[in-house]
């Protein structure tokens, strides 16, 4: 894991980054998906990246050990162990790997040799190449004692497994297509894979509203650079807070229409951060939290909308404070409620705060914010009564 990726490459292959995480962290996510209990990394020594990987593994509940050679590896694995062997630089979809390893039998994953050698995989025989992943009994590691100390451990284990008659299974073409099963050998390949991986996750299917389409376009255009730099979702989340603060300042100084525009931008950034955080969690094998950060940021966006509406809405003489506060509160609660009880495209558009921000900005510019808020509230109630209910399960 500490060998250079290649001539002129500044980083080891294991620590080239894809979607905000190193290849080694992606492989750690695969190990978690395959229910591994321990991780053994082959490396000549420690490094800051390797120590960070160790912290990630231990935080996920895995034991972590570094082996500097085949002899040390053989001392760490017992005959009763089951060994998942992941080749250096392999980037594969954990879900595909789990499906291929269904059952407990030892298995060497292979693929047709055509194209595999050029992609960086090792030839096994005249027709097949390794797919970079296998499950073997721990007792096979003892055979490494018979080999030179500088042998390629993974290549040697592959040969030993095949010589002892362990079955081969071909990785389906569908699993190998696109970004699903690749070998990364350089920083340029990592960049290219990152773009392809993002498009495979977020580039297909229809969006439920124009605002989400804009957010997805932004992630596809700039997400690769943000993820490659690290902390992408944190940076975008900070931008959300900045946009809300600017909106509040504009509203306080009487430019409420401009405040609505910035709150709409804040919501677009929230949806972008949601996509980026999903990519980061997938890369690290992390489950979604009970309350995602993006949901909390949406609550802040809604509070900002309510604040700006109050700033732009007249309070009539003798009107109770609670009645004055209820007007924006009812609108925002209806906007949250309707997508939960009704399905269809209209419900998706209702949840689009970017559209809401533009509508309210126009209403504020023409001095009709109270009328528009009341009309929107009435329209949402009518929609809740007329739209088909959301199907559950």
Q: What is the pLDDT of residues 29-67, one digit of tens each?
A: 899 989 999 999 998 888 888 999 999 999 989 999 999
Most confident of 55-59, 118-122, 246-250: 246-250
Instruction: Say whether pLDDT at 206 is over 70.
Output: no
Domain boundaries of the chain, sorted by first residue = 13-186, 205-386
| Chain-centroid distance, C-alpha 89 | 19
Query: What pLDDT shows up at residue 134?
Result: 95
Question: Do 54 and 112 form a contact (C-beta atoms < 8 A)?
Answer: no
Write out pLDDT tens, residues 174-194.
888 888 899 998 888 888 888
> What whole-number distance in Å separates Cα of residue 149 and Cα of residue 368?
80
Please report which residue ranges of 86-231 form alpha helices under DSSP H: 94-100, 153-163, 173-176, 187-202, 210-229
Half-sphere exposure of 200 (CA within 13 A, CB side): 16
Instruction: Say whether pLDDT at 355 is over 90.
Output: yes
User: What angle, 0 to 180 degrees and rounded to 10, lies between the N-to-C axes of helices 187-202 and 210-229?
Assistant: 160
Query: What pLDDT shows up at residue 7?
Result: 61
Question: Do 354 and 264 form a contact (C-beta atoms < 8 A)?
Answer: yes
Query: What pLDDT shows up at residue 207?
Result: 62
Number of other residues whose CB lies within 10 A of the CB of residue 76: 14
Query: What pLDDT shows up at residue 54?
Result: 93
Q: Which residues pair with 342 in a beta bridge?
A: 389
Instruction: Say whether pLDDT at 166 is over 90.
Output: yes
3-state secondary structure of 249: helix
Rg (Cα) of the chain, in Å, rounded? 27
- Tell me which of 281 and 66 has the higher pLDDT: 66
Question: Do 238 and 276 form a contact (C-beta atoms < 8 A)?
Answer: no
Query: What pLDDT shows up at residue 352?
Result: 93
In DSSP notation, 148-166 reads -TTS-HHHHHHHHHHHTT-
Q: Torsions phi, psi of 47, nearest 5?
A: -155, 160
Query: What pLDDT shows up at residue 162?
Result: 92
Mean pLDDT, range 379-386, rounded to an integer: 89
Query: What pLDDT shows up at residue 393?
Result: 53
Task: Give this prediction's pTM.
Answer: 0.79
Mean pLDDT rounded to a whole number for the chain: 88
Query: What pLDDT shows up at residue 8?
Result: 64
- H or E segment at 237? helix 232-252
The string over 14-31, giving b where at least 16 C-beta atoms fall within 10 Å of a residue's C-beta and e elsewhere, is bbbbbbbbbbbbbbbbbb
Mean pLDDT, range 113-133, rounded to an integer: 92
Task: Name which of 224-233, 332-341, 357-366 the model is least confident about.
Answer: 224-233
Angle at 293 between CA 288 and CA 298, to 5 degrees: 125
| Nearest residue to 91 via CA among 206, 200, 253 | 200
Query: What pLDDT shows up at residue 123?
Result: 93
- Write out the two tokens for 114: 């055509």
Mean pLDDT, range 68-95, rounded to an integer: 90
| Chain-centroid distance, C-alpha 190 | 16
User: What angle, 0 to 180 degrees and rounded to 10, lies between the N-to-C axes of helices 256-284 and 293-312?
Assistant: 180
3-state secondary structure of 134: strand
User: What angle, 0 to 180 degrees and rounded to 10, lies between the N-to-C axes of helices 187-202 and 256-284?
Assistant: 110
Question: What is the assigned CATH class of domain 13-186?
Answer: alpha beta
Mean pLDDT, range 212-227, rounded to an integer: 85
Instruction: Say whether pLDDT at 203 is over 80.
Output: no
Instruction: Say whether pLDDT at 385 is over 80.
Output: yes
């Amino acid at each position: 894991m500490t060998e250079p990726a290649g001539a002129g490459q500044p980083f080891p292959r294991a620590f080239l980054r894809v979607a905000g995480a190193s290849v080694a962290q992606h492989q750690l996510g695969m190990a978690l998906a395959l229910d591994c209990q321990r991780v053994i990394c082959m490396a000549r020594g420690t490094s800051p990246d390797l120590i960070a990987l160790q912290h990630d593994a231990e935080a996920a509940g895995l034991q972590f050990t570094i082996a500097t050679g085949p002899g040390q590896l053989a001392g760490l694995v017992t005959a009763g162990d089951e060994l998942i062997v992941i080749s250096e630089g392999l980037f594969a979809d954990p879900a595909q790997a789990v499906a291929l390893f269904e059952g407990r039998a030892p298995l060497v994953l292979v693929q047709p040799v055509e194209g595999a050698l050029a992609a960086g995989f090792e030839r096994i025989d005249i027709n097949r190449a390794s797919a970079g992943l296998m499950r073997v009994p721990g007792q096979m590691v003892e055979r490494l004692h018979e080999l030179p100390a500088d042998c390629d451990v993974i290549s040697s284990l592959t040969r030993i497994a095949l010589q002892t008659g362990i079955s081969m299974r071909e990785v389906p073409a569908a699993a190998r297509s696109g970004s699903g099963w690749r070998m990364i050998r350089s920083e340029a390949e990592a960049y290219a894979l990152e773009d392809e991986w993002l498009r495979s996750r977020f580039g297909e299917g229809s969006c439920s509203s124009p605002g989400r389409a804009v957010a997805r376009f932004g992630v596809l255009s700039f997400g690769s650079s943000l993820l490659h730099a690290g902390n992408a979702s944190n940076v975008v989340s900070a931008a959300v807070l900045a946009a809300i603060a600017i909106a509040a300042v504009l509203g306080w100084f009487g430019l409420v229409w401009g405040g609505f525009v910035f709150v709409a931008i804040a919501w677009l950034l929230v949806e972008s951060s949601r996509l980026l955080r999903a990519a980061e969690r997938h890369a690290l094998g992390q489950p979604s939290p009970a309350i995602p950060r993006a949901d909390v940021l949406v609550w802040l966006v809604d509070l900002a909308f309510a604040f700006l509406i109050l700033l732009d809405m007249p309070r009539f003489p003798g009107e109770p404070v609670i009645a004055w506060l209820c007007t924006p509160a009812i609108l925002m609660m209806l906007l949250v409620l309707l997508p939960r009880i009704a399905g269809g495209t209209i419900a998706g558009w209702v949840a689009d705060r970017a559209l809401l921000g533009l509508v309210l900005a126009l209403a504020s510019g023409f001095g009709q914010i109270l009328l528009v808020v009341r009309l929107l509230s009435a329209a949402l109630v009518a929609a809740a009564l007329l739209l088909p209910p959301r199907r559950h399960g």
